[in-house]
Amino acid sequence: MRLKSDTILITGGSSGIGLEMAKQLIALGNTVIVTGRDMTKLETTKRELPKIHVYQSDVSDSRAIKDLYSRVTSDFPKLNILINNAGIMRAVDFNDTEYEMICNEIDIDLSGPIRMVQQFLPHLKKQPDAAIINVTSGLAFISFDKAPVYSAAKSGLHSYTKTLRLQLKSTKVKVFELAPPKTSAPLFARSNQGVAKKGRLPTMDVPKVVSIAISSIQKDKLEILPGLSKLLKFAGRIQL
């Protein structure tokens, strides 16, 4: 994909990898739309990037997704790329965690991207050149007991992305997976600092992760494993 003059929707685009993707994609001449649950953060993002378009939404809410679809496709009928980036990570001890908290993490990290794809796919299939980019994680390939729900949800999203790619191979919609390693993004601080304290892997700068991702997408590389993610995938095979 050229990633120039495209119209791109990024969920969870007010911080971390989503925000950096917005910055770099705007610099390439694309129209970029971001969503988030916190309107204050979205307004800050808009001030930082005046060319960006912001919509408040929540990927864990199917009604919010339907409303987002109506507004975005009406305002941007040429929308042709969906980046499912929104996610949370929590340190979870199954001996002492409420059921609702576990369900909420699954709703955001796994069910949310699936809802977004199902809602936007008919529109994307009408475009001459389209793509879906699911942001998983290097932790999708291993069992990470400090954030087990996150690891399981990202593993599920990895599997879903592979089957989605197979089912859409005869269409004009390309399906990419970006599985970042541990990064300098505020994912840990935003969700639960316990994970960050217990994690031992080195971090990779977000701008570098995004730069690798964009370059790989431009080359139509469907599975993108920056940094240690390649090692984690290999380690996961041994672990099995």
- Look at the chain and report how many structural domains it folds into: 1
86 and 105 Cβ atoms separated by less than 8 Å: no
For position 121, what pLDDT does the model report?
98
Q: How far is CA 155 from CA 44, 141, 142, 214, 233, in A?
A: 32, 6, 8, 22, 11
Q: Does residue 96 lie within any of the structural domains?
A: yes
Q: Does residue 200 lie within any of the structural domains?
A: yes
220 and 174 Cβ atoms separated by less than 8 Å: yes
Q: Does residue 72 lie within any of the structural domains?
A: yes
> Of the residues 55, 69, 99, 150, which is catalytic?
150
Range of the domain at 95: 7-239
Q: Does residue 99 lie within any of the structural domains?
A: yes
Q: Is 69 considered catalytic here?
A: no
For position 189, what pLDDT does the model report?
42
Dihedral pair phi/psi, residue 26, rounded to 5°: -65, -40
Q: Does residue 44 lie within any of the structural domains?
A: yes
For position 141, what pLDDT does the model report?
76
Q: Name residue 132's amino acid.
A: I
Listed residue (120, 118, 117, 152) closest to 134, CA to CA: 117
- Beta bridge mates, 204: 183
Q: How many CB atoms are closer than 10 A to CB 12?
A: 26
Q: Does residue 1 lie within any of the structural domains?
A: no
For position 233, what pLDDT does the model report?
67
139 and 151 Cβ atoms separated by less than 8 Å: yes
Q: Pick left, alpha or beta for residue 227 (phi over 0 → left; psi -120 to 50 → alpha; otherwise beta).
A: left
Q: Does residue 21 lie within any of the structural domains?
A: yes
pLDDT in tens, the chain (240 residues): 999 999 999 999 999 999 999 999 999 999 999 999 999 999 999 999 999 999 999 999 999 999 999 999 999 999 999 999 999 888 877 777 787 888 899 999 999 999 999 999 999 999 999 999 999 998 877 877 788 889 999 999 999 999 999 999 999 999 999 999 888 665 644 445 555 545 556 789 999 999 999 999 999 999 999 877 766 665 556 554
CATH number at residue 220: 3.40.50.720
For position 192, what pLDDT does the model report?
52
Q: Does residue 2 lie within any of the structural domains?
A: no
